[in-house]
A and B are shown apart, each in its own frame.
Chain A
Amino acid sequence: MTYTIDTNKVVSEIFNDEAVIVNLASGAYYSFKGSAITIWQLLGAGYSDEEIIGQFKDAESINKFIAFLVQENLIATSDAVTKQTITIDQPFTLPEYKKYDDMKDLLLLDPIHEVDQTGWPHKKAE
């Protein structure tokens, strides 16, 4: 199965040893390290999960990471068959990924019912 990254909803930047991904809809952001970075790049380039597992062999950790990406709406399944070839020059290391949701409350406030007189973005006291 192949996947797409909707760049209208998800933005990312890859540094040498870490990728930072932001879900614009939920406000959650993520840090990827290890082979999570390469897998993210391969998925974005149109590689299928079978191809990635074939390359790296560790089906369990790769499937778990891809399931996480789907659950977080960072990728969606796709019928696309074209792909951009990526040269993999890093040995496989366990995908490391961390979610930060400290911005979530800011976005999920109900603007009509969950603000007090001090106004947005302060949450209404319980």
Chain B
Amino acid sequence: MIYWSDNSIPISILDTNSDSQIKKLKNGWYRVISQKFINYQIVCFSLIKSEYAYQNDYLKNNYSKSFNLPPEIDITLERDKYLIKGVDSRFLFSIQLNSTLHLSEKNIYIILLFFILGFIFFSSYLFGIYNKTKFLKSYTLIKFLIYFIFISVLRFILFYFDFPSLLYDSKLFSPYYYAASEFLPSLGDLLINSSIFLHLSYLFFTQVKLEALLKRPVLIKKYTLSIFSVFTIIVFFYYYVVICKSVIYDSSIQMLMNDIFELTFESLIGSFIIFALSVSFILVSSKLFYLCKRLTYSNINFVYVFISAIILFLLFPFQIFWKEGFFYPVFLIVFFLILFLFDFLKDRINIIQRIFILILFFSFFSTFTFYKYNDNKEIEKRKLLVQKLSAEYDPVAEFLFKDIMLKVKSDTIIRNQLKRFYPEDSIVNYLKNNYLKGYLSKYSQQITLCKDFQNLIINSANNYNVNCDKFFYDKITMNGYPTQTENFYSLDFGSGSNSYIAVIRFFDDASDSLLRTSLYIELDAKFISKDLGYPELLIDKKLNLIRDLSDYSYAKYVNKQLVKRFGKCFYDNKLTTEVDSSGFRNFNKDHFNHILYNVNNRVDFILSKQKIGFLERLSPFSNFFIAFTLFLFVLVFATPYSRKIFSLTFNFKTRLQISILSIILVSFVLIGITTFIYIANLSNEKNSELLTEKTHSVLIELENKLGNETKLDRNISATVNDLLVKLSNVFFTDINLYDTEGVLIASSRMQIFEEGLISDFMNAKALYELKVNGKTQYVDKENIGTNEYLSSYMPFINNDNKLIAYINLPYFAKQGDLRREISSFLKAYLNIFLFLVIIAIVVALFVSNYITSPLRLIISSLSKIKLGKKNEKINWKSNDEIGNLIIEYNSMIDQLSISAEKLAKSEREVAWREMAKQVAHEIKNPLTPMKLSIQHLQRAWKDQVPDWDERLTRLSNTIIEQIDSLSVIASDFSDFAKMPGVELECVDISDIIIKSVDLFKANDAANISFNLNITENCLIKADKTQMLRVFNNLIKNSIQAISDKENGIIEVSVNPKDELYIITIIDNGIGIDKSQQTKIFSPYFTTKSGGTGLGLAMVKSIIEGIGGKIWFESDLNSGTKFFIQFYKFEK
């Protein structure tokens, strides 16, 4: 072999000789293409499918990426139905299915997403139609509750029949990730339920009109309703806590919220569920809270209601809520306070600020819940682990022996040696050198061969004989416990050390008496050992042997004396802590949280976990905050609210806030990225340096031991292996040794090579750099499966200054530590980053408030400017740009008051002239018929006409009518003149309307029916008398419009809309002609014979005088709708 491109193929020279086009090597199937030219042969290996002896997180039996095939398909060299051929049409291999093919989890998630969206939109469609039907039109709450039940039943049916079934075949819908109860059996079901619940809460928030409940309720009903609302909020909160707890406690996904880099799709689903429930809770509770607030009027009443609701809550079996400590009730009270605050600062905080406060609150709440239950869960898990540890001792040895025992049993060399009566020593040495090295060398080993019926001489004071098999049989029955591996027993002599005995019987061929031998291998662990740790890479996940102990430390005490320890924690030699009655004790010491477990009278185990630092503790908070913000963005853009947000025109203050925030965010992100790259590089460099230093130390040690050798090759690999194992335990690293041609001589972890995870050939680039370029050290990234690690190489030069080998330190055993190091830095950075962002947001709010405060002062002063009144000047001391603006403003105010005076004077003159003209005109009109009537009477009197009496009556009636008309004109003008004398107060507009309607009901309109749809307590700021005049006028107009029409109906309704009341007066009278509609509010315009045309002009002037608005819609002959809009009264 003169060249190889890399060390990922575990191939030997022999493998390249055969002509086969497909090869099954130890780590997978390869397509082999070779070509000969001149004296060379070039062989190319292309990976088809990785296939390892066992699988774990790093080693997975997958097809090469470009093939994109599921692992359920097996490769076989037998000719089957599905043949794969090469380009030359030669048969290569067949494929066959080993199990049914399933859709990948990713595809199932996509289908689930579309299914949920489809369901929600379909439900929106159904509800839209249902809500518009006349059924229970005025009872939106009952209507909604019916719909809620309908959707719940529909969901239950789908759930009961496992529809759609393809979803229920997946892991997400199995108890794999989560299972809490019969109705919440999987994470997928919980996801669907919470999404539907979010949708229904949204419908409740937007579609249900609780104002109907405010309609004239009696006192008792009012308070029952309030208490019920608050009670519902508390019960909802209770279930919200229960489900949040369940998501954390009953799931295997661990949420992983403390490590964003280990975030999986399932943990995202978990946080989405918490988010959906939080939003549902906010929507439902804020709606109920404001209903209750309006029902109770005052804060003190609300407090009474709140206390009553809590008492009611206590009557129900929800005590578990209080058992969890007082934290959750405190959270609930804080939530209510936030709602109070929102209500109190209605105008001062906008929707974005409210959302920000709510996200902060719920992130904090989720973090608290996460720690509360995750810590409990971790402690429970640790208790189990410590029990297992105390029972199992050394899972790695047990795992290794499973394989060793099979191999030894079928080893032909041993079988031959046994048959030929080889000396026992030779077999023992063979076993030690070939099977019991590496990891097992930490045990002192005793190997005994028991031939059939042979006796064993026990070296004791008496030197007695005993049957060999019986001796071990007794030993096992008295002190042994079975392990997971068959015929491999753990021995408990009470010494506290790990002892094992393996029994290998060569009894399979009973006829061959020579083989009737039992082999007993005894392993005894050395005291106070500290393991290097076994790489996760070499553990079969299926055996479930290894529990990830990388985060833990443990110690074993016998008679309170330390006998064994593992991990980072330094335990005391003497155990001073006692367990409590449960057999466990949980305590904190030296930055570790320990769980002490008392195995028996003499043996104690401690399993410890490093306590999380403050910044790391904050991780879930940042992660929840970021996740909630992102979910909210998606949610807002998926609902019609996005249109509202896009149509918002931001004011100067908001623009300023957004600008400050964007600058801060962009700079933070840029600094973050550069720091991350810098730190990652630095950390890599640091690790390379560390590794180089370590390699150097190992090299010096090796030079001491092997410096005199002139040549290192495979012949002495057994000795070198032992040496490397010893050194690896000293330096806590694995060590490989390659010869000068780059072929493996020895390794401290031969298993890596034996299992074919990498080839015996050295990293080609390293060889090139060291051998050809003459470098003295080289560090490169290598990988086994998906595990990437740093690997360091150095040439090994003997005492004669001759290169005899290359030393290599692969750092895969510590790769997990490295990953954790970088991830913990990033976590800390992310937390600081988020905190700075939150501080920046608060600062931005203050700064923008500070900068815009003079502008707001000017705006409020400008809005108060009124002509004809004394306007106040602004007092501003500093001589800045704002100061100049204010000087200009003040001088403008002076000029304005002068101009206003002049204007008022001229206006008064004009108004008087106009008035005089109008009065003269109005008076003249009836005077002419009066004059004519009197002249007519004079003439009749003079002429002594025969019908004098009749004429007198007729003409005097005409004169009286004209005098009445004059009187009407006089009172109208008098009313008009009275208008400026207004007294604004808080009036209930519904009261006034009812009074006005009652007045007309009693007198004018016997043939007209009134429909009132009025809510009580519609408070506005207005003049009571003027308001009465407004509604008298409008209702009178409507009655006159209906006049003699049969079935006349006048509908009056008051509807609240945001900060307004909209009052509608609808009649089915004659309506207003289109040509007249524009003039209807002009003074002196009338369509009636006896009107002055001042009525509607006066109405408009009164309404607009208090900031209201009036408009109308009318169709000739079908009626008129008048709309009046008033602002709600605010204290």
Tell whether A and B belong to one assembly: no
B residues within 8 Å of A by Cβ?
Answer: none
